[in-house]
Each structure stands twice: as C-alpha cells, then as structure tokens.
Amino acid sequence: MDSKVLIRLPRKQYVEELGREISLGEFEKHVITRTDQSYSDKKHTITPESLQQEPHRFIIKKDEYLLLEADFLDEYKQLKRLAQIITLKDLGRIITLLGVTKDSVVVEAGTGSGAATCYLAKVAREVHSYEVNEEHLTVARENTERLGISNVQFHKTDVYEGMKDHGADAFLLDVPDPARALPQVIKALRMGGRCVVYTPNLTQARDVANSLPDALLYEGVIELTERGWQVQGRQLRPRMQGLGHTSFLTLLRKIPGGASR
C-alpha cells in the first residue's frame, strides 16, 4: 500500500498555576492516498516533498507531526460505506468465535459494503459472500480491490432461496430474517462447522433460537460492550461517550441431525 498516515500531535504547554502540562488542540489523523500533491489539515498545508519521505517527525509553526506508512487497519477505516457495518469490537469476537484461521473457508450472507468481508478475507483462506443487492455488491468489490484482496468470491443470490454446498468451516449470517436462512447455513457448512448470527435486535436472536433445525446446535447468545477511558496525567476516568450495544451474536454449530433410535 502506498498510502500514508499523517498525525498532528496535540501541542503541550506547562501551566505553573496548575502544576502540570495541558494539551492545546486535538489529536488529528488523516490517511493520505495521494502523496504527489499537497495536503491541508485544519491548520497547515503539507508539501509532497514531506509526504513522500520515509516515516519521520517534523514541525510546522510549533505543531508537531508524524508521518507513517498506512497499514491494513488504516486503509480499512477508509472504506466506502452504504450502510451500517459490523463494528471492529464485534468483528474481532466473531472471527475468534468462528475459529477462523488461515486454512478456513468462510461463507458470509449479506455482504453489505464488504467491510466484514475484507477482514475475514485477510484472516481466512477463502471467503464466499452472498448479497442480493447489486449496489452493495459493486461497493464491496471496490473495497476489496482497494485493499488488494483477491480471495473473495461474490455471489448475487437470495440467501433465503438457495446457496451452494461449500463445505465451509465458518458462516457469518447478517440478514434481516436470519431464521429463514438457517436451512442454507446447514447446506453451506461442513459437519462441525460454526455459525455466528449477527442481529441488532434480541427478538431476531430469539426467533433463531426458537426455530433451530435438528442439524444446528445452539450454543448461546452474547452481547459485547466497549468503553473507552481517558488517561491523562493523574486523570483516570471513563470517556463520556462509549460504544454500547451494537448487536447480539447467536452461536450455532452444525451437528448430525435426527438421533437414531
């Protein structure tokens, strides 16, 4: 990736009356995709000569900057979005709950803007992503191309109607009526494969739990919350704004259906 990350650090000043340093201004971070032209933040204009250098620190009129090479996470946060995406706090837990590794085949239904698709593809061997909305598929393809991802196959298919047998290790189900799609989850997974159902509402999770076929084992529902903390000098307190509820994650696993008698 040729993009750069430009960070303007808060200017610090010691105040004798307070007996401590205070920060003047806010931390700013910008991902720059064109280093062959000038870039302006809220205070200064940075020249191409500076942007094209190796990672370094520099000062413009008492403001200190950092220039770094952009990594995958920097680029990921710039992806084009059409709708709400699965948050990083949920996505990280989903990947671990599904047991995704570099050898995994993963199926995802609905693609949306492709944010989860991209992260799954960076971890897994192969991703199959299902979406019926052509506009969403177009944006998702653009996002995978932007991140240089080539191990995703997109399928324009109604997941309620049909899906291929992928022998998949993991399945991420993120559709409005997930209970209707459970037969397709069974079809797509290998025996023992895992599924996480992502639902904003608890009633959706209830519907899934109450309509499980014999071939799916219910392993529970969880909800994740995230709270940032302000650590500055002697101050230690939660930030006023935290990332509370975003979704419920219902955990399923494919098992042999219909006990023998």
> Does an H or E element contain 121, and which?
helix 115-123
User: Bigger pLDDT: 101 or 239?
Assistant: 101
Q: Is the pLDDT of residue 162 over 70?
A: yes
Mean pLDDT of 251-258: 90
Q: Which of 20-24, 185-189, 238-242 has the lowest mean pLDDT?
A: 20-24
Residues 113 and 110: their CA atoms lie apart, in Å, by 9
Q: Is the pLDDT of residue 76 over 90?
A: yes
- Percent of the chain whose predicted confidence (pLDDT) is above 70: 91
Q: What is the pLDDT of residue 26?
A: 73
Kindly report the average pLDDT of the chain as a whole number: 90
Q: What is the pLDDT of residue 14?
A: 59
pLDDT digits over 10-53, tens only? 876 555 665 555 555 677 899 998 899 999 998 899 999 999 99
| Alpha-carbon dihedral sign for residues 94, 98, 100, 105 | negative
Q: Is the pLDDT of residue 227 over 90?
A: no
Work out the pLDDT band at 191, boundaries 50, 70, 90: very high
Work out the pLDDT band at 138, boundaries 50, 70, 90: very high
The answer to whether 184 touches 109, Cβ cutoff 8 Å, is yes
**Strand intervals (E) in the chain:** 4-8, 11-15, 20-24, 28-32, 39-40, 45-46, 56-60, 63-69, 105-109, 126-131, 152-156, 168-173, 189-199, 216-223, 229-232, 235-238, 248-254
What pTM, to 2 d.p., does this model score?
Answer: 0.85
